Amino acid sequence: MGASWLNIRSLVLDGGRAAPGGTAKTPGCRRERGRGGLRAPTLRPRPQGAPARARGGRKQRGRHGAEEVAAEVAMGARGRTLLLALALLLASVGPKQPEPPEANLLSGPCGHQTIPTRIVGGEDAVLGRWPWQGSLRLWGTHICGASLLSRRWALTAAHCFQSSNDAFEFTVQFGELSARPSFWNLQAYYNRYGVDSIFLSPGFKGESPYDIALLKLSSSVGYTDNIQPVCLLPSSAQFVNRTDCWVTGWGDVEEEEILPYPYTLQEVQVAIINTSMCNHLYQRTDFRWTIWGDMVCAGDPQGGKDACFGDSGGPLVCDTDGLWYQIGVVSWGIGCGRPNRPGVYTNVTPHFHWIQHVMNQNHTPRPGHCSSLLLLALLCALGIQ
């Protein structure tokens, strides 16, 4: 960075003449209970002579006089520029404008599909159908799903960080259908964003409940037809007993059967199962588990439609009047797609205000015009001789 600054300054001062000068793959999974416990998520000379007469009978100034005038002009220009820079600096450190209300961080346009949904299950998705879908990657390898909430925030499951919680090691891929984009797919690398910070729910103790996490991205996501945020709601009551919600991910297509080449995003339609019924189903098995209030179940009573290993952290979404809302985060289940064993998701609603709070407290406003003008003014001041 220092060398670049020196080169830029040399260009300004010298009139344009600058001074010379594979990762190990970790297995992908949704957490499974009852069979081996928790599984880790997948991984620029002046001329001399006598003074001459100038036009109009006025004498030209001598060489030294010309230098004095030039110096005066330069100092005057530099002074004005420095004063401008100082004014801009004072403006930039003046009273801060109030931060936007918490709700504003989640109130922008969201939930728009660019391609209509087909009523199918367990099939390849089409690019643009689920534009909020993200792939959480550890050292470049897909380990979990994620969903885009805004230009700087994504949502996923807390248990995806049990093997590592160092933000530097993670990236999130958006706008791609394949979990393993081609090496020559430059657009995929352009749409891969580093993770600045990881925020686990304060109630998460290694297992459900509270299996939810927020990711602050290192840079702002550029929205396209294939990259858009999903909506959140403070209440998901309207989605109870819905039979037309969807879960998406790059996990296994069956138990012990990984997603085959070309590793295309899968989509499946599922029904929301009320908590009482889900609790009843999970008390009738050899593996008895309590479905807590921050959980929501979805699947098909007959089996065959479910999230699976590698889908952890991905979104469960439902639409209302053409807008899509995320109501769940893939968390755990017994097997995949078994009859009377619905998938269990973290219910987003109980965590809505926590999500708002974290986003508001860690909001990074875009730099204003003042910062850019200040930098330009300082560069001009340095460049005037």
Residue 369 annotated in active site: no
Q: In this structure, what CATH number is given to the domain that contains residue 175?
A: 2.40.10.10
CA distance 270 to 332: 15
Domain that holds residue 327: 111-361
Strands (E), the chain: 31-32, 123-124, 133-138, 141-150, 153-156, 170-174, 192-200, 213-217, 245-249, 266-273, 295-299, 315-320, 323-333, 343-347
Q: What is the DSSP string of 233-254?
A: -S--GGGTT-S-EEEEESS-SB
Confirm whether 44 is domain-assigned.
Answer: no
What is the pLDDT at residue 27? 38
Confirm whether 195 is domain-assigned.
Answer: yes
Alpha-carbon 200 to chain mean position: 15
| Count of C-beta atoms within a 10 Å radius of residue 380 | 17
CA distance 268 to 15: 62
Confirm whether 1 is domain-assigned.
Answer: no
Peptide bond into 209 cis (omega under 30): yes
The conformation of residue 20, written as its DSSP 8-state character, comes to -
Confirm whether 61 is domain-assigned.
Answer: no
Per-residue tokens: 306? 């479910």
Residue 211 annotated in active site: yes
Cβ 173 vs Cβ 182: under 8 Å: no
CA distance 195 to 226: 20
Confirm whether 94 is domain-assigned.
Answer: no
Instruction: Exactly one of 147, 150, 201, 211 is catalytic; name it.
Output: 211
Cβ 326 vs Cβ 315: under 8 Å: yes
Per the structure, the count of domains in the chain is 1
Confirm whether 157 is domain-assigned.
Answer: yes
Where do we find the tokens 């001009």? 380
State how beta strands 266-273 and 245-249 pair.
antiparallel
Residue 196 annotated in active site: no
Give, for all 385 residues of the chain, the pLDDT tens digit.
444 433 333 333 333 333 334 333 333 445 555 433 333 454 333 334 433 333 333 333 333 444 444 444 444 555 555 555 555 454 444 443 444 443 445 656 786 665 544 323 467 899 999 999 999 999 999 999 999 999 999 999 999 999 999 999 999 999 999 999 888 888 888 999 999 999 999 999 988 899 999 999 999 999 999 999 999 988 877 788 788 899 999 999 888 888 888 999 999 999 999 899 999 988 876 778 889 889 999 998 888 899 999 999 999 999 988 899 999 999 999 889 898 899 999 999 999 999 999 999 998 765 444 444 445 555 555 554 4
Per-residue tokens: 73? 């002009």
Instruction: Exactly one of 201, 312, 331, 351 is catalytic; name it.
Output: 312
Confirm whether 136 is domain-assigned.
Answer: yes
Instruction: Exactly one of 147, 159, 178, 331 is catalytic; name it.
Output: 159
Query: What pTM does this model have?
Result: 0.69
What is the pLDDT at residue 315? 98
Confirm whether 232 is domain-assigned.
Answer: yes
